[in-house]
Amino acid sequence: MSWYAPRHLDEVLALFAKRPDLIPIAGGTDVMVGREAHAGGHEYLSLANVAGLRGIRETPAGVAIGALTTMTEIGHHPVVCQNLPALAASARATGAVAIQNRATLGGNIMNASPAADNPPVLLAYGASVVLMSATGSRRVSYERFHSGYKETVRLPGEILREILVPLPPPQARHFFRKVGTRRAQAISKIGLAALLAGRPGAWECVRFGFASVAATPILAQALSAAIIGGTHGLPGDKELAEALRRDMTARDDIRSTAEYRRRVAMNLVREALAPWRDEGGLDASD
């Protein structure tokens, strides 16, 4: 196994332009787990020590997070905790503390697992990503980033530079819930993140991101449309469940069954919408 470890971004881009077959590594927490799948003399490009790919900064439009920023940094950073609490919660739910100290947001995204904890939150928040190569950079809406199971729209020679998350509407409800076999250190059977602001008939934002219900993390567009269409109140459970069936393509697997996921998804949606059911939507903060 060969390993390249440049320290400067221009070195990375120049090397990757010549060798797009290199496998980029961020925190590396999935490298040994997936090494058998990469057997056969693959070579790796470590990004761990590259300057300029780590950090969290506020921008006029929101929060920019470097691809190499760790879960620990995200889960406890005051800017993230204050403005993007669901993202902070998802970072703290990713593996054990030792994993969080090394695992990166960029790595979690690029690994492209449909069960990953952070993608549903990024979908709910309407995030975008910046991909960079030796020839330039481009910005991609995160909801278009995952193209299939364990696949993304990243082109050969590109690396993920940063994740851009817009500021949510004031008084929005930020919701994140991960359901697994255990309360911690478990791969999710289903995960939901939601960003909700407004009230029936006057919604500002209705976005639901799911994990483990399809081949990729998904933005539940049919569900959002059903809720936005309910001008005199929230849709009933039957209508919400039907919308979820249109969004989800869950199958039975070693961690759960499709039926279980459908039932739990409905329960999580009810939980996310609880303030509007209980208080008529007058207080949507969380």
Q: What is the pLDDT of residues 13-71, one digit of tens each?
A: 999 999 988 888 888 777 666 555 555 557 888 898 888 899 999 999 999 999 999 99
Same domain, 70 and 209: no
Tell me what pLDDT residue 71 has: 96
Predicted confidence (pLDDT) at residue 181 exceeds the cutoff of 90: no
Same domain, 61 and 29: yes
DSSP, collapsed to helix, strand or coil, labels residue 217 as coil
Same domain, 153 and 126: yes
Same domain, 259 and 139: no
Question: Could you tell me the two tokens for 169?
Answer: 């509407």
Same domain, 118 and 190: no
Same domain, 145 and 233: no
Tell me what pLDDT residue 39 has: 53
Question: The whole model's pTM is what?
Answer: 0.91
Domain CATH for 203: 3.30.390.50
Residue 119, in any domain of the structure: yes
Contact between residue 130 and residue 139 where contact means Cβ atoms under 8 Å apart: yes
Going by C-alpha positions, the residue among 212, 223, 193 that lies closest to residue 286 is 193
Out of 97-111, 132-146, 179-193, which region has the weakest mean confidence (pLDDT)? 179-193
What percent of the chain stands above pLDDT 90? 69
Residue 285, in any domain of the structure: no
Out of 4-13, 135-144, 210-219, 275-284, which region has the weakest mean confidence (pLDDT)? 275-284
Last residue of a domain, one of 166, 200, 234: 166
Predicted confidence (pLDDT) at residue 160 exceeds the cutoff of 70: yes
Backbone phi, then psi, for 65, in 5-degree steps?
-125, 120
**Residue 203, C-beta contacts closer than 8 angstroms, at least 6 positions apart:** 196, 197, 227, 228
> Taking the CA atoms of the chain, what radius of gyration do you get in angstroms?
19
Predicted confidence (pLDDT) at residue 157 exceeds the cutoff of 70: yes
Residue 284, in any domain of the structure: no
Residue 255: give the domain boundaries: 173-279
Tell me what pLDDT residue 256 has: 75
Predicted confidence (pLDDT) at residue 284 exceeds the cutoff of 50: no
Same domain, 182 and 133: no
pLDDT tens digits, residue range 111-122? 999 989 999 999
Residue 32, in any domain of the structure: yes
Same domain, 63 and 151: yes
Contact between residue 105 and residue 142 where contact means Cβ atoms under 8 Å apart: no
Q: How confident is the model at residue 90 (pLDDT cuts 50, 70, 90)?
A: very high
Residue 268, in any domain of the structure: yes
**Residue 72, C-beta contacts closer than 8 angstroms, at least 6 positions apart:** 91, 97, 100, 101
Last residue of a domain, one of 130, 147, 166: 166
Same domain, 101 and 190: no
Residue 286, in any domain of the structure: no
Tell me what pLDDT residue 185 has: 60
Looking up tokens 């998804």, which residue turns up? 265
Mean pLDDT for all residues in the chain: 89
DSSP, collapsed to helix, strand or coil, labels residue 1 as coil
Q: Compare 154 and 52 and report the one with higher pLDDT.
A: 154
Distance between alpha carbon 14 and the CA centroid of its chain, in Å? 29
Q: Compare 185 and 108 and report the one with higher pLDDT.
A: 108
Give dist(CA 278, CA 281) in Å, integer: 8
| Domains in the chain, number | 2
Give dist(CA 187, CA 74) in Å, integer: 19
Same domain, 35 and 148: yes
Last residue of a domain, one of 131, 166, 201: 166
Same domain, 143 and 182: no
Residue 155, in any domain of the structure: yes
Going by C-alpha positions, the residue among 156, 163, 114 that lies closest to residue 141 is 163
Q: Which of 73-87, 179-193, 232-246, 260-274 has the highest mean pLDDT?
A: 73-87
Residue 242, in any domain of the structure: yes
Q: What are the DSSP calls for 20-80, one per residue?
A: TTSEEESS-TTTTTTGGGGTTT-EEEE-TT-TTS--EEE-SSEEEEETT-BHHHHHH-HHH
Give ∠ CA 38-42-47 in degrees, rounded to 5. Answer: 95
Same domain, 6 and 130: yes
Domain CATH for 91: 3.30.465.10
Tell me what pLDDT residue 113 has: 92
